Amino acid sequence: MTNVKERRIQLSPSLMTMDLDQFKEEITFLDGKVNSYHVDIMDGHFVPNITLSPWFIEQVRKVSSLPLSAHMMVTDAPVWVKKLIDVKCDYICFPSEVANGVAFSMIDDIHAAGLKAGVVLNPETQIDIIKPYIDVIDKITVMTIDPGFAGQKFLAGTLSKIVELRRIREESDLSYEIEMDGSTNLKHWKMISDANPDVYVIGRSGLFGLTDNIEDSWSQMVEEYEQTTGYRFDNGKYQSRR
């Protein structure tokens, strides 16, 4: 094949949306296919929902050695950072909206523990809020839906942040990963792919809820991705068919 454009992306299933009755089976199947797992930590205050916890991360560790990324939706971020450091979560991502005055100390604590620090931009939050520490962050998560619940409306305007973050990274010679989170599915694969994030968080509408078993759901997700984006899966690379 000549003139093939190649690029790598990372897939990070959102464990909040998996079938917990088939927890071990689904993790075992996905381990050979994805790059990391996305774990939502909600305190019932920052968003009106309570979900997974640092304890859940410990349970995943028993069946998988892949990196785990905690997406905190909490008001008292430093307290939860300490909890996640204790369980050695690979990526600890705090909400930018509550980080003023504590961002550098949280990042320093995470890095001192040998872990990676991330920050989350909710739909209404602009990139400027993280500019003071963008050069010391390891990952930036762009929310493409409102936080707190799966299955919410996709906000296409948020994709411009991914494009802008890629431009900033290239021009400033930075190394953070760009992750997108929210409604990654058949309807939106093409526009998300065009924005070109590094990490795709995939949940119920794009993977776990497609069929009643993970093997068929994975096959359907791959087919939908390939049909809508023009890229094909190939041992971790995504090669253009064009």
Cα gap 206→44, rounded to integer Å = 25
Catalytic entry in 40, 43, 90, 198 = 40
What are the tokens at 11? Answer: 């897939």
Helix (H) or strand (E) holding 106: helix 103-112
pLDDT in tens, 50-81: 566 788 899 999 999 999 999 998 989 999 99
Is 198 marked active-site?
no
Strand 37-42: give its sheet, edge to edge.
Answer: 10-13, 199-202, 177-181, 139-143, 116-121, 91-95, 68-73, 37-42
pLDDT band at 7 (very low <50, low <70, confident <90, very high): confident
Q: What is the pLDDT of residues 11-65, one digit of tens each?
A: 999 998 888 888 899 999 999 899 999 999 986 555 545 566 788 899 999 999 9
Domains of the chain and any CATH numbers: 6-240 (3.20.20.70)
The one catalytic residue in 90, 138, 181, 198 is 181
pLDDT band at 8 (very low <50, low <70, confident <90, very high): confident
pLDDT digits (tens, 9 = 90+) for 185-233: 999 999 999 999 999 999 999 999 999 999 999 999 999 999 999 998 8
Checking 50-53 for CB contacts under 8 A at 24+ apart, the result is: 51/16, 52/15, 52/16
Q: Tokens for 50?
A: 């309570």
C-alpha distance from residue 140 to each of 39, 63, 177 (Å): 15, 27, 6
Residue with tokens 């905190």, as numbered in its chain:
72
138 is catalytic: no
Give how far the C-alpha of residue 226 lies from the chain's centroid of Cα atoms, to the nearest Å.
20
Helix ranges restricted to H, 113-240: 159-172, 189-195, 214-229
Alpha-carbon 171 to chain mean position: 24
